[in-house]
Chains A and B, each alone.
Chain A
Amino acid sequence: MSYLQLSDITKTYGHFTALDNVSLSVDKGEFVTFLGPSGSGKTTTLMIIAGFEKASAGTVEVGGQSISQLAPHERNIGIVFQNYALFPHKTAVENVYFPLQMRGVSRTQGLRQAEDMLSLVGLKGFGHRHPKELSGGQQQRVALARALVFEPSLLLLDEPLGALDKNLREQMQIEIKRIQRSLGVTTIFVTHDQSEAMSMSDRIVVFEKGRIEQAAAPLDIYHRPQTSFVAAFIGESNLIPATISSAAGKTAENPALGAFDYAGADNALSDGQKVTLLIRPEHIKLSRNPIEGRRNVRMTVETIVNYGDNALVIGRAGEVTMRVRVLGADVVIIKEGEECCISWMPESVFVITK
């Protein structure tokens, strides 16, 4: 039974269609990430759920009740904005107390509740500070506490980690996840950062050009992308155009690289169909000589990018640029300009039809 239901949401600005028939159901307690490049419609969808934008068509339901006609202040939805939007004239605890104050909770009781919520987000003892006196991460926590203290029916997070540096961001990812689990609040998280989406979500919804490209669990999105866009947007990928030579024999053909065996595909395939083959760079092995039992291709190494623990090797195999992810220790066997062997297993080849 879905808790949040978006049905056929369309949003147009004049002739521009920002959202095109978006439908989605989210279960109670689920952590769903809207992922996509800027302008893909993810934020517009979030704003429609929050009530700040009106959909041109379609409905939003929460718990079986349509909220499409409600004003933002009637929706009981907690939102954490990109820049936190804390009230600069109020202290941290007053900020958190604000939504309770608006709901008529007495000052004594409300402030106590706000303090409790601040403790939950790890800010015990910081309540008397003004936002200006708090670090970015602490402001983020206050904003989170404020969005949760009134037990909202939904929690919306609009790129909340964008302004934080890398270490703090990872720390906050874990924190947000922990708090979300402990409260069991249904959460929509908007980001354009795929690693954030991967590490935090129960489910990822990939947006592109106002439409949902795919909605699935992170690992499904990664291993079984339904479109080339999803495959290219999430993680690194080798996308090889090919033609199905035998659907029964599970083989495809690329003019430059020859025949490919593949293990499976999510869609029914027919002989002669144009498809795209996905091989993730970390599923390719790099070696001096061909390895038996694997599909081997010769490649001339063009660039090696070292990351320390691993390295990205980019080279040309026939007409095709291939990317190979190798462990840092393995990269010493090869130099730029040299020829080597790359190989993979049929299980690592995924067929994308769109």
Chain B
Amino acid sequence: MGMSLSRLTEKTNIWPWLLLAPLGIYMLIFFVVPLADVAIMSFTEPRVSLANYERVLTGALYQRVFVNTFLTAAFVTLCCLAVGYPLAYLMAHSKPRTAMLILLLVTMSFWTSFLVRTYSWMVLLGNNGPLIAFLQMIGIDQPPQLLFTRFSSTLAMVHILAPYMIMNVYSVMKKIDPVLIRSAESLGARGWSLFRHVYLPLTAPGIANGSVLVFVICLGFYVTPVLLGSPREQMIAGLIGHQIDEFLAFGMGSAMAMVLLVVTLIILTIYHRRFGLDKLWG
């Protein structure tokens, strides 16, 4: 049995590749071809030229939206880290029962459709919502506008994306050898210095992982900022939607999508290069 198996894997065999064919064909038809179409459109609509890219890269509006998108993504990532790191720490280091409870809450939120979560925020933050009512109850006569602001969209995005951060950081924390912490203690470390010099660096791969994931997903976020955000604080995906839905400017939308794609790929490549080295610690 073992013999025949190893022979099977040693020879270059077409069968394992054939098993991949359904997926390969699916990806080709529904991912590669449309993507190529988008790429081609960005150069050919409405006519063959680089005009779309010129507009995307030099137009003040587009530049502002790009910058805004990156700043928002960075801010959301930071918030996810600020919320997620302590929560992951609790999960990794509290008693099994408590850890299970937190894990359950995080995954339950994760499993709920993000459209549902987005709409729940609309209900919670809306002018007739409980938060406004609460603010009025404690004596604030003119409560600030909560919904359709940068605040509401950021809040919802952090809520939706934090589980990615938590799970990544948690899995790294869980893998830290407790002997390393003991060892650090025996060498005279404790409290903040133990955290800064030992614990934090050991969890850095999880932070990097989670941050890149959250950042990249956030760059392309569409529904939440469109539904919850301020119309003046658009993100790039929303703008692409506008171009295609309302102006039927397929060329412009495609060019913006390509720029976003290329930038995302660049980020992922840098991360991969860098993280390939960092994995040595693992």
- Chain A residues with CB under 8 Å of chain B are 50-52, 71-73, 75-79, 81-83, 85, 87-90, 98-99, 101-103, 130, 132, 146-147, 150
Contact = CB atoms under 8 A, between A and B. Distances in A.
B23 interface: no
B47 interface: no
Given A72-B182, A83-B177, A98 B187 contact: yes
User: Interface SS of chain A: helix, strand, loop or mixed?
Assistant: loop
Interface string B182-203: 1111111110010001100110
A123 to B, nearest CB: 18
Given A83-B177, A89-B202, A73 B185 contact: yes
A89 B201 contact: yes
Contacts of B185: 52, 71-73
A99 B188 CA distance: 6
Given A73-B188, A99-B187, A130 B198 contact: no
B137 interface: no
**7 tightest Cβ-Cβ pairs between the two chains A and B:** A102-B188, A85-B183, A99-B187, A89-B201, A72-B185, A88-B281, A73-B190
Given A51-B186, A88-B282, A150-B187, 11 more contacts: A73-B186, A73-B190, A81-B183, A85-B182, A87-B180, A88-B202, A90-B201, A98-B187, A102-B187, A130-B280, A132-B280
B248 interface: no
Contacts of A82: 179
Contacts of A77: 186
B104 interface: no
Contacts of B179: 81-83, 85
Interface centre among B180, B186, B188, B190 (most CB of A within 10 A): B186
B183 A71 contact: no
A346 to B, nearest CB: 51
Contacts of B186: 50-52, 72-73, 75, 77-79, 147
User: Interface SS of chain B: helix, strand, loop or mixed?
Assistant: helix
Interface centre among B185, B187, B188 (most CB of A within 10 A): B187
B48 interface: no
Contacts of B201: 87, 89-90
Given A73-B189, A85-B177, A103-B188, A79 B202 contact: no
B204 interface: yes
Contacts of B193: 102
A97 to B, nearest CB: 10
A50 B189 CA distance: 14
A50 B280 CA distance: 30
A66 to B, nearest CB: 18
A78 B187 CA distance: 7
B84 to A, nearest CB: 21
Contacts of A89: 201-202, 204, 281
Given A72-B185, A98-B197, A130-B280, A85 B190 contact: no
A146 B183 CA distance: 10
A340 to B, nearest CB: 47
A132 to B, nearest CB: 5
Contacts of A146: 187
A205 to B, nearest CB: 21
B190 A71 contact: yes
Contacts of B197: 98, 101-102
B183 to A, nearest CB: 4
Contact of A52 (B177, B182, B188, B189): B182
6 contacts: A78-B187, A79-B182, A88-B280, A98-B189, A130-B280, A150-B187
A98 B197 CA distance: 9
Nearest to B179: A85
Interface in B171-223: 177, 179-180, 182-190, 193, 197-198, 201-202, 204
Interface centre among A52, A83, A85 (most CB of B within 10 A): A85
B192 to A, nearest CB: 11
Contacts of A87: 180, 183-184, 198, 201-202
A99 to B, nearest CB: 4
Interface string B245-282: 00000000000000000000000000000000000111
A150 B188 contact: yes
A87 B201 CA distance: 10
A81 B178 CA distance: 12
